[in-house]
Amino acid sequence: MNDLTEFMVLDAPDGRVATALDGRGGTRFKTEILPKWLPLQRWFAGKDKAIGAVAMTPLGDLAQGEHQLVSVDVTVGDEDQSYLLPISVRWGDERSGASKPSYALAGIRHAGRAGTLIDGAFDERLPQLLLDGLKENRRDGSLRFEGTDALRRIGDPGNPRQLGAEQSNLSIAFGDKIILKLYRRIREGEQPDVEVAKFLTEVAGFGHTPRFLGQVAHGSTTLAAAFAFVANQGDAWAGIVDALEQEARASAGAAQSTADAFGFPLDLGSILGQRTAELHKALAATTDDPAFATEDLTPDQLGTWAGDAAAEAEALIARLEQARLPEDAAPLAQTLLARREALLSRLRAVADLAPDCKLSRIHGDYHLGQVLLAQNDVVIIDFEGEPARTLAERREKSSPLRDVAGMLRSFDYAAMTVIARHDSDKAGLDRIETWRQSVIRDFLDAYRLHSEGAANLPSDEGSRETLLDFFLLHKAIYEAGYELSNRPAWIGIPLKGILDLLEGKDQ
């Protein structure tokens, strides 16, 4: 339910959403309602900071003004952020402040009619309007609908339905044919999720990611995009954690040999390593497009990576010296503090490499949650990059070993998440640790085999291992900083990861 105490009712002189948001009512809506409503939304990134000015920029009207796409422009701390807010009117559905759902924004009145203005992402009519616009390559004022021929060949895909819990974006499925993704946090410029999907499916011919079908844009800003639906059993994170839970419970109930084979999805290391290698080869495909053409890895770039990682490590060490940590994590932090010079030395060592490979576009936010389980195979999704980074940062070329490190750390997190729930069961812990080591080994073996000859990877095995070691350490340092700020109870996972890497375990 919505926690707002006041249910504002706006007058719409001509019955359109746009006029309801104009004038004094719209000003009150911006200054009184939105600052209270935004922090209640899961996709709002400024919950821990004070909201300053709030403005609304109209992006376009649909269906004779019953739906309006709005950019909500917010000053959060010292940062300006923009969010897509589709606003729809439901006539004859006036809600009181006590009974309105969380997506209700305000009441609306026009010529004796009453209704409710709602977050249009929850109005089943809006996704259909957007999809119809894509099929017709429509122009609605400043809105551009750009659909592909592949989209138009689909025909009637079925009725829209929301998928899962709302996070930073919202995905809507049309039957088993189309996924429409609404980007909540919007930025001006090329959306990596769109341009990478287009390149992979239309240029590089990579078949293990959903096919790009179209986008809705306002100027250079992507508001929504359509992709082919892929039949799946959910994402790999949920599938693996659930399967590990079953392994742990089974081990607690009966003796089980640690040599027993794991079934799908726990045995996905080899296929995921292969698909990851194929993805990285595809991203290094020869092209005249400057956004995807590979570039030389230079000594200056290696020096920048080393300096940035060392600075981040030093900042983490300073925070750990002052932090009050959970009982199980405090000894790990003390050990790391004692080994700070070894950590900094390992990070700086990457600057001494002789670069012999190219840089390319990468996934940029690669972990088990970005992989769908599809029968006994996998599909790689969500090329948006880390949401906290700017579009320019997310479009930068880098080493694909950064993605590899992200996935290896995700394996570690999955195992440690379940281990934390079964820490009194030695048989279960041994079984999960066996899985962790085997999935890492299988992933890396398959990745090495299927990435052979890739222009964006070092040809020298020693250089490749040094780079991967660097990215693993850098990723774990980032994780430790994140957990320290957001989930202190989890800080032990990345701290243990850093120490294991310093001791040369696993990789």
pLDDT digits 0-9 by tens, 478-494: 999 999 988 999 999 99
Backbone φ and ψ of 484, nearest 5°: -60, -35
Total structural domains within the chain: 3
Residue 507 lies in a domain: no
How many CB atoms within 10 Å of residue 113? 13
Residue where the block lists tokens 């719409």? 12
Residue 171 lies in a domain: yes
Looking at 96, 123, 150, which one is the last position of a domain?
123
Cβ distance 431 to 256 under 8 Å? yes
255 or 344: which leads in pLDDT: 344
Residues 210, 322, single domain; the answer is no
CA dist 293 and 396 (Å) reads 11
Going by C-beta distance under 8 Å and a sequence separation of 6 or more, which residues neighbour residue 88?
Answer: 17, 66, 67, 117, 118, 119, 120, 123, 125, 126
Beta pairing partners, 295 = 359
Residues 138, 118, single domain; the answer is no
CA dist 479 and 316 (Å) reads 10
Name the token pair of 292. 């995807």
Looking at 108, 123, 138, which one is the last position of a domain?
123
Residue 156 lies in a domain: yes
Residues 477, 329, single domain; the answer is yes
CA dist 103 and 404 (Å) reads 39
Residue 4 lies in a domain: no
Structure confidence at residue 100 as a pLDDT band (50, 70, 90): low
Backbone φ and ψ of 139, nearest 5°: -120, 120
Residues 169, 220, single domain; the answer is yes
| Element of type H or E holding 146 | strand 143-147
Cβ distance 170 to 182 under 8 Å? yes
CA dist 387 and 477 (Å) reads 18
pLDDT tens digit string along 361-407?
Answer: 999 999 999 999 999 999 999 999 887 788 899 999 999 999 999 99
Going from the C-alpha of 403 to that of each of 68, 85, 166, 273, 370, the distances in angstroms are 38, 32, 25, 11, 11
The CATH number given to whatever domain includes residue 333 is 3.90.1200.10
Residues 277, 374, single domain; the answer is yes
Residue 3 lies in a domain: no
Whether this prediction's pTM lies above 0.85 is answered by: yes
Residue 357 has a pLDDT of 93
Region of poorest pLDDT, from 12-16, 386-390, 424-428, 448-452: 424-428
Cβ distance 238 to 263 under 8 Å? no
Looking at 92, 123, 154, which one is the last position of a domain?
123
Structure confidence at residue 498 as a pLDDT band (50, 70, 90): very high
Cβ distance 329 to 495 under 8 Å? yes
**What does pLDDT average to over the chain?**
91
Which domain does 195 fall in, by range? Answer: 126-228
Residues 200, 270, single domain; the answer is no
Residues 140, 109, single domain; the answer is no
What is the full DSSP assignment across 317-353? HHHHHH----TTTHHHHHHHHHTHHHHHHHHHGGGG-
> Which amino acid is located at 332 in the chain?
L
Residue 8 per-residue DSSP state: -
Residue 2 lies in a domain: no
CA dist 450 and 430 (Å) reads 30
Residues 142, 275, single domain; the answer is no
Cβ distance 74 to 46 under 8 Å? yes
Nearest to 350 by CA among 416, 383, 297, 303: 303
